[in-house]
């Protein structure tokens, strides 16, 4: 995110602002919880209205709930039928949180359906936490209050993103962690490093490292920004490498190695405390396979069905990655599933809704490029780094997903691109803000137009959820 390095808003929230925040969080929680409750409680054939991979992922929190321990990939109870491998070899921290929710539900006598809903509600709560941090981010990077709300609603009520927070997965925690990391970095760039802000950053990094690999770009995002922070302007001619008060160093820039090492040590230490147990667990169980990729492949080849073991990737078939992307419908599936495909990519919105969302994104980006003052463009070193990190956070999940679909398992699904949503929406919403300020001189018009866009996004989301998806949930999904 591009930070307003010197002009952060620090005013406390008014009573009306607190009320609006409560309403915003309440709407998100209600809509997400209604989806979590209404989706299928058992497998439907062929998983028509079931969330993607939930039947396989749910095996892990159910095991933890039942046996009070973390499973290994060798436990048959968590092995995915036909595929032979298991999600237990990857990050299980989100599943531990889900199992705790299931324990609470179990105290009230919840049955099988109730336990599944409890696991889903863990993701709903993670989404609600993310919604709060998105709101806080918006307050730091946008000047106008109505634009702040447009950004918050655009991110949290983006249909596919909303859907991610309604079923058993690790994506929900990954998205939450990205918001925590960005907000922590904005606070650090505003007020400087402190233990409290370092702890917040460490929490975000820990949740990211223990959730979903597609979001790991935000770990690099934080590392680069932290390194850049200590490149400082030297106005007094005192060298950052010397403690001598009478140093004759020339004014300019220097690197504050002392503080950099101090805070790096604190943050790395906190992150190791939060994540070390998991990597030690994998290293011991899987012969040094920290991330679980090698053992996952071994399990697949040992227990998988022949059609799974003998699967030929697009790369191995002799095609190029460009053929994968452009010769078929690969980009079509990425595009529409990034916007909204519920169920197992089986419940669609209307064509004009996909078109409207695409126009919203493309037009916002075009407006951003048009209304930048290119002739008078002056950016500090820190702002340049922020933009580089934003672009990296957008491009990385796209490249990872393309690579995975090409070399391993062809899955052109927009949910794998979702980690780029926050930085992408920054540029989109910033484009509309710049355009409205330049074109609409009337303050009431600017405010009204912003609320119209927000209302349009909310109306399309509600239509997608309650008109397009819910009839299928009611007919094929909800089983009590």
Residue 9 pLDDT > 80, yes or no?
no
pLDDT at 477: 64
pLDDT for the residue 248: 40
Is residue 41 scored above 90 in pLDDT?
no
Residue 5 is assigned to a structural domain of this protein: no
Q: How confident is residue 379, by pLDDT bands cut at 50, 70 and 90?
A: confident
* 51-55, 170-174, 419-423, 442-446: range with lowest mean pLDDT: 442-446
**pLDDT at site 437:** 83
Using the predicted structure, report yes or no on whether residue 375 has a pLDDT greater than 80.
Answer: no
Residues near 320 by beta carbon (within 8 Å), at least 6 away in sequence: none
Question: Is there a cis peptide before residue 289, judged by omega within 30 degrees of 0?
Answer: no
Q: Evaluate whether residue 21 is within a structural domain.
A: no
Domain count, the chain: 1
pLDDT score at 247? 38
Is there a domain that residue 206 lies in?
yes
Check pLDDT > 60 for residue 31: yes
Rounded to two decimals, the pTM is 0.92
Is the pLDDT confidence value at 2 over 50? no
**Domain annotation covers residue 90:** yes
pLDDT band of 450, cuts 50, 70, 90? very high
Least confident of 69-73, 248-252, 339-343: 248-252
Containing domain of residue 417, as a range?
36-236+256-477
Residue 107 burial (CB count, 10 A): 8
Check residue 316 and give its pLDDT. Answer: 92
Is 26 among the domain residues?
no
**Residue 334, in any domain of the structure:** yes
Residue 160 banded pLDDT, cuts 50, 70, 90? very high
What was the pLDDT predicted at 11?
53
Q: What pLDDT sits at residue 381?
A: 85
Measured between its terminal Cα atoms, the distance across the chain in Å is 44
Q: Average model confidence (pLDDT) for the chain?
A: 90
Lookup: tokens for 371: 């209304």
Taking residues 10-25, what's their average pLDDT? 83
Q: Which residues of 50-87 are buried (b: 16+ CB within 10 A; e: fewer)?
A: bbbbbbbbbbbbbbbbeeeebbbbbbeebbbeebbbbb
3-state secondary structure the chain: CCCCCCCCCCCCCCHHHHHHHHHHHHHHHHHHHHHHHHCCCCCCCCCCCCCCCHHHHCHHHHHHHHHCCCCCCCCHHHCCCCCCCCHHHCCCHHHHHHHHHHHHHHHCCCCHHHHHHHHHHHHHHHHHHHHHHHHHHHHHHCCCHHHHHHHHHHHHCCHHHHHHCCCCCCHHHHHHHHHHHHHHHHHHHHHCCCHHHHHHHHHHHHHHHCCCHHHCHHHHHHHHHHHHHCEEEECCCCCCCCCCCCCCCCCEEEECHHHHHHHHHHHHHHHHHHHHHHHHHHHHHCCCCCCCHHHHHHHHHHHCCHHHHCCCCCCCCCCCHHHHHHCCCHHHHHHHHHHCCECCCCECCCHHHHHHHHHHHHHHHHHHHHCCCCCCCCCCHHHHHHHHHHHHHHHHHHHHHHHHHHHCCCCCCHHHHHHHHHHHHHHHHHHHHHHHHHHCCCHHHHHHHHHHHHHHHHHHHHHHHHHHHHHHHHHHHCCC
Q: Within a domain: residue 410?
A: yes
Q: Is residue 4 part of a domain?
A: no
Average pLDDT value for residue range 283-293:
93
Q: Which two tokens stand for residue 145?
A: 């209050």
Q: Say whether pLDDT at 480 is over 50.
A: no
Determine the Cα–Cα distance for residues 238 and 132; give it in Å rounded to an integer. 41
Specify the pLDDT at position 376: 66
pLDDT at residue 245 in the model = 38
- Give me the percent of the chain exceeding a pLDDT of 90: 78
Smallest CA-to-CA distance from 65 within 95, 22, 26 is with 95
Cβ partners under 8 Å of residue 60, min gap 6: 71, 78, 86, 87, 88, 92, 95
Please report the pLDDT score of residue 25 as a whole number: 97
């Amino acid at each position: 995110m591009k930070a307003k390095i010197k002009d952060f808003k620090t005013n406390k929230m008014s009573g009306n602002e607190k009320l609006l925040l409560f309403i915003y969080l309440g709407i998100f929680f209600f809509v997400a919880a209604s989806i979590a409750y209404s989706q299928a409680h058992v497998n439907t054939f062929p998983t028509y209205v079931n969330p993607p991979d939930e039947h396989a992922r749910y095996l892990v929190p159910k095991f933890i709930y039942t046996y009070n321990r973390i499973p290994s990939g060798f436990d048959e109870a968590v092995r995915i039928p036909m595929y032979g491998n298991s999600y237990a070899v990857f990050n299980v921290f989100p599943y531990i949180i889900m199992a705790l929710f299931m324990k609470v539900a179990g105290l009230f006598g919840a049955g099988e359906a109730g336990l599944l809903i409890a696991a889903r509600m863990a993701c709903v709560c993670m989404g609600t936490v993310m919604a709060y941090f998105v709101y806080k981010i918006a307050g730091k990077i946008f000047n106008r209050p109505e634009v702040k709300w447009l950004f918050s609603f655009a991110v949290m009520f983006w249909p596919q993103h909303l859907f991610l927070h309604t079923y058993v997965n690790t994506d929900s925690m990954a998205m939450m962690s990205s918001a925590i990391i960005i907000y922590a970095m904005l606070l650090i760039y505003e007020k400087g490093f402190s233990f409290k802000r370092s702890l917040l950053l460490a929490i975000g990094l820990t949740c990211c490292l223990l959730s979903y690999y597609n979001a790991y770009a935000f770990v690099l995002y934080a590392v680069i920004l932290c390194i850049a922070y200590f490149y400082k302007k030297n106005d007094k001619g005192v060298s950052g490498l010397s403690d001598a008060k009478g140093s004759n160093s020339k004014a300019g820039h220097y690197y504050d190695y002392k503080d950099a090492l101090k805070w790096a040590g604190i943050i790395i230490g906190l992150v190791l405390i939060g994540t070390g147990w998991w990597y030690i667990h994998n290293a011991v169980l899987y012969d040094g396979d920290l991330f679980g990729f090698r053992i996952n492949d071994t399990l697949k080849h040992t227990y998988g069905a022949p059609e799974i073991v003998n699967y030929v990737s697009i790369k191995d078939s002799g095609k190029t990655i460009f053929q994968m992307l452009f010769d078929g419908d690969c980009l079509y599936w990425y595009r529409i599933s990034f916007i909204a495909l519920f169920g197992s990519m089986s419940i669609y919105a209307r064509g004009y809704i996909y078109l409207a969302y695409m126009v919203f994104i493309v037009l916002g980006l075009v407006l951003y490029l048009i209304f930048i003052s290119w002739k008078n463009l002056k950016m500090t070193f820190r702002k340049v780094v922020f933009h580089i990190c934003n672009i990296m956070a957008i491009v990385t999940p796209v490249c990872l997903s393309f690579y995975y679909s090409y070399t391993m398992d062809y899955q052109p699904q927009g949910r794998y691109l979702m980690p780029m949503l926050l930085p992408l929406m920054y540029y989109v919403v910033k484009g509309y803000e710049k355009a409205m300020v330049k074109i609409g001189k009337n303050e009431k018009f600017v405010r009204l137009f912003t609320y119209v866009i927000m209302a349009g996004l909310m109306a399309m989301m509600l239509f997608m959820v309650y008109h397009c998806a819910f009839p299928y949930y009611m007919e094929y999904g909800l089983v009590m």
